[in-house]
Copies of this chain bind each other. A is one copy, B any other.
Amino acid sequence: MKPTVHDIARSAGVSLATVDRVLNGRPGVRRITQEKVEEAIAVLGYVRDVAAANLAKGRTYAFTFVLPENDNSFMIGLREEVEQAVGRSGAERTRIRVVDVPPFDGQALSNMLDGVLADRPDGVAFVAVESSDVQAAVARLREAGIAVVTLVSDLPGSQRHHFAGIDNHAAGRTAANLLGRFLSGRDGRVAMVAGSMLVRDHRERLEGFLSVLSEDFPRLAILPVIEARDDPAIAEELVTGLFRRYPDVIGLYSLGAGNRGILKAVRSLPEARRPVIIAHELTRSTRAALADGVVDAVLNQDAGHEVRSAIRVLKAKADGLPVIAAQERIRIDIFLKDNLP
């Protein structure tokens, strides 16, 4: 039988309370007592039953998710995943609050983080915008002992504990690899549509994409990046203009959101003129475009995985426990029309 706290108490000749103290590194145990207990733990090969511990503790974790008010399918999906996590709160011993901020606005985000700080939650997750204000707000959260995780877009150099998102540099490289190979042998221009260069995830995708394209596919000419603020309407207009100006665009990398608008612009083109397209995030519109051949590949980050990972990490950090990095890595999914889930 698996040894329990009772076994180790008996074996060490101490009470349950003392076992619990050394198990949880709580103070007030004589050195010699502690050693006896540790000896017993080692000898019996004790491993704590986490479920039972949680039951006894009855601890709940207060977490706040700060999400941008972006009107695109990915953010809406992310929000839904957070709502689902709220729904699981009972079973997971969490109390999750969601607050909104304007997108791409470092000032607004840092103000909101300060507001969140005031309720002293156990942890905060947010989609980062690059700005020194935000860096400073993170420092204040950490100072207050609050666990901090960035979600989807990171803020390296800040004191956040962890980033729950994909390797965006790798995503950009992957997109370039696919686009380049799908266009193999052809000459022409390649366009890129981003949300904003103020968010790290888009900047990193762009960098990765450009480096592979210029290195491995020098016959493709690269147009300046378009910033459409992840807004379908803006994207549609800008992309329509782009096609008017450059009739020889044969490849398009949509590295942000707002694909609905981009795809509308593409569909209004005669079929022969439509470029090969690599887009991000599997949504209703990219899925449909993949199915009917307008989009050739979709790189995806699983918002559900990201939210669940963020919560696991926040719990661990709130308890001062380490996280298993490999377990929390978020994969870049690649979808073609044939492996749609």
Contact = CB atoms under 8 A, between A and B. Distances in A.
Interface of A: 2, 47, 49-52, 54-55, 90-91, 167, 170-171, 173-174, 176-178, 181-182, 184-185, 208, 212, 296, 329, 331-334, 336-339, 341
A171 B339 contact: yes
A334 B331 contact: no
Contacts of A212: 338
B91 A49 contact: yes
Contact of A334 (B2, B296, B329, B339): B339
Copy total for this chain: 2
A316 to B, nearest CB: 16
A47 B170 contact: no
A104 to B, nearest CB: 27
A338 B173 contact: yes
Nearest to A60: B2
B334 A91 contact: no
Given A49-B91, A90-B47, A185-B184, A177 B337 contact: yes
B177 A50 contact: no
Nearest to A337: B177
6 contacts: A173-B338, A174-B338, A177-B337, A177-B338, A181-B182, A331-B333
A213 to B, nearest CB: 12
Nearest to A212: B338
B341 A47 contact: no
Closest 9 CB pairs of A and B: A173-B338, A51-B51, A334-B334, A174-B338, A174-B339, A332-B339, A181-B182, A177-B338, A177-B336
